[in-house]
Amino acid sequence: MAELTLREALRRAMTEEMRRDDRVFLMGEEVAYYDGAYKVSQGMLKEFGPERIVDTPIAENGFSGLGIGAAMAGLRPIVEIMTWNFSLVAFDQIVNNAAKVFQMTAGSYKVPIVFRGPSGAAENLGSQHSMALESIYAHFPGLKVVSTSTPKDAYGLLKSAIRDDDPVCFMESELAYGHKGEVPDEEYLIPLGVADIKRPGRDVTLVTWNKQVNTCLDAAKVLQDKHGIDARVLDLRTIRPLDEEALYKAAAETHRMVVVQEGYPFAGVGAEIAARVQEACFDHLDAPILRVTNRDLNSPYATNLEKLVMPSVERVVDAARAVCGR
């Protein structure tokens, strides 16, 4: 096992796939000569040259469309979006073209493209730069949505995403780029659509993804140490396709569930999970499924207010205690 940061794991995945397949290339703002806004692509220009590590103007709609056209022509682009908040500029290209070309051409054109970059809040970036957009892109058939923040998962999932023949929205975490974790020395891939139990538990399941995994792990420790509640932490990793089997098994085994989601509560991923699990597993549940989400307002700039808006260990603990009748 090698200990890598998240950015190093992402770089290793992209580098290995570019060595393996000369159709793969990376494009985006500052990915080449600046070595990436977050240094994820550091050193890649030197190895692969400017034809495969391509700097773009600040024009998300334009270079996303270029990437989609390249994918339709047989290449396998990785399009780095500096933050998923900026993807809204390219929303028409991603949703109306990348997601729909395969169906609209009766399978004549595939769109094997990965859109990747950080999603969710960092620190003090204000309301226009702090959105978690998993629920937005997971809403549309034709797109796959991955959201992860651990080096091992990011490595295995990104390699699978690059090899996938469908467009994949790959969401990372700016705050996690420097976090370290063990990654196998040998190549390995994680299939899209498979959740992972980050902590076993029998009393309640905390369902989450991306950097809220750490919030849930911290909450699980508090629940165990202070309240005698044994919490399972289920990391979805992929929002679409959704690992319904893992969710239903967790509901059947722990009988209680809390979904912890960075993002707005209305029409969020947590609401979809609650609906599906309660429809399929109603008789297994001993309490209604609760959600812990961002407060239903735009993210403030101030640090103290931003923390009040986001999910917290305290809010997760309170929700878990509530479903456990404590």
Are 227 and 184 in contact by the 8 Å Cβ rule? The answer is no
CATH architecture of the domain 196-323 equals 3-Layer(aba) Sandwich (3.40)
Q: What is the pLDDT of residues 165-187, one digit of tens each?
A: 999 999 999 999 999 999 999 99
Q: Catalytic one among 8, 17, 29, 60? A: 60
Nearest to 196 by CA among 186, 207, 204, 180: 207
Identify whether 272 is a catalytic site residue.
no
Is the pLDDT reported for residue 1 higher than 90?
no
Q: What is the mean pLDDT of the chain?
A: 97
**CATH 3.40.50.970 residue ranges in the chain?**
2-183
Whole-angstrom distance, CA of residue 13 vs CA of residue 185: 12
316: tokens are: 């997760």
Identify whether 129 is a catalytic site residue.
yes
Statement: the pTM of the whole predicted model exceeds 0.85: yes
Q: Where are the beta strands (DSSP E) in 129-281?
A: 144-147, 168-172, 180-183, 196-199, 204-208, 231-235, 238-240, 257-260
Q: Catalytic one among 17, 29, 80, 129? A: 129
DSSP, collapsed to helix, strand or coil, labels residue 26 as: strand
288: tokens are: 């209604």
DSSP, collapsed to helix, strand or coil, labels residue 1 as: coil
Q: Which residue has the tokens 């950015």?
A: 7
CATH number of 2-183: 3.40.50.970
How many angstroms from the chain centroid is the CA of residue 263? 12
Are 182 and 150 in contact by the 8 Å Cβ rule? The answer is no
Are 280 and 237 in contact by the 8 Å Cβ rule? The answer is no
Compute the average pLDDT of residues 296-321: 95
Q: Which residue has the tokens 């998240």?
A: 6
**CATH 3.40.50.920 residue ranges in the chain?**
196-323
Q: What is the pLDDT of residues 21-56, one digit of tens each?
A: 999 999 999 999 999 999 999 999 999 999 999 999
Compute the average pLDDT of residues 244-254: 98
In the chain, % of residues over pLDDT 70? 100
